[in-house]
Amino acid sequence: MLNQPEGSWLSRNRKLIKENPRLFFQKVGTWLRPMRKDYRRRWAGSLRNWLRRYQTDLLFTEVSWMGVTARKMVLDAWIYQQMIHELRPEIIIEIGNAEGGSTKFLANMLDLVGAGEVIAVDIDHSIFEVIHPRIRTVTGDSVSAETLARVEHLARGRQGLVIHDGDHSHAHVLRDLRAYAKFVRMGSYFIVEDTISDLFRAGDGIGNVNGPLCAVEEFIREDSRFQVDQSREQFVLTFNPRGFLKRIA
């Protein structure tokens, strides 16, 4: 970890040239020296291109949690652990589980805070690899009456955090937002993932048409209990722009 210097840039360097002129001139040398060519080339791409590369080259093959594929932007996962520590949700409902790496990650975070369960909802759990005492699976269409009844039963009146990573079409996301909003505790969040797809061009490897961001915008217009909390995007790199919906009423 880099140390955070104190005082202004000018005052720090005035002090340094008095106390250690040799070190000061070594610093000046780093200002004049070009960055290593291999890393200069590697870091020269735009943020937009990096996000596209993450989606197309890394997400499905290179990202895992404890050996299980986890289809998540890793900085978003770091935000999730901060939220879990802060909010201590009684339940986390994760809609869309795939292999289960992110589901296991959420359960392990609940292990660390010492309470809570994950209700894992997916239309198909045939590739789901995870068994954990805090995870309860519900297999079926997320908005079917049978699925919602099962989630209600497992929740047993508890509320917490909802994370949506299921069908990303506008219509389905909007139905899920309306159906699962009741499971979000006051002050907690409904996180809609992959809203980034609406900000890219369709067909470029990450872009979409009528995706989740459109559903988010429609939902917050009709349900005043929720508002977008962009403070949860503090690392800039996120797959969920405007996707952190905080319940305020």
Domain count, the chain: 1
Compare 194 and 10 and report the one with higher pLDDT: 194
Compare 201 and 153 and report the one with higher pLDDT: 153
Residue in the structure block whose two tokens are 């000061």 = 24
Q: How confident is the model at residue 5 (pLDDT cuts 50, 70, 90)?
A: low
* Residue 62 structural domain: 53-247
What is residue 125's three-state secondary structure? coil
Q: Is residue 213 assigned to a domain?
A: yes
In the prediction, which pLDDT does 175 show? Answer: 98
Q: Is residue 239 assigned to a domain?
A: yes
Q: Is residue 134 assigned to a domain?
A: yes
Residues in CB range of 124: below 8 A, 6 or more apart: 139
> Letter for the amino acid at 218?
E
Compare 3 and 249 and report the one with higher pLDDT: 249
CATH of the domain at 69: 3.40.50.150
Q: Is residue 210 assigned to a domain?
A: yes
Q: Is residue 7 assigned to a domain?
A: no
Tokens matching residue 177: 């937002």
pTM here is 0.88
Which of 107, 93, 77, 73 is closest to 206 using CA atoms?
73
Average pLDDT over residues 74-94: 98
Tokens matching residue 176: 């899920």
Which of 119, 148, 153 is closest to 136 using CA atoms?
119
Q: Is residue 17 assigned to a domain?
A: no
Model confidence at 47: pLDDT above 90: no
Mean pLDDT of the chain: 93
Distance, CA of 183 to CA of 26 (rounded, Å): 57
Average pLDDT over residues 61-84: 97
Model confidence at 247: pLDDT above 70: yes
> Letter for the amino acid at 198?
D
Residue in the structure block whose two tokens are 């099962």 = 150
What is residue 74's three-state secondary structure? helix
Model confidence at 27: pLDDT above 90: no
End-to-end CA separation in angstroms for the chain: 39
Measured in whole angstroms, the distance separating CA 49 from the mean position of its chain's CA atoms is 19
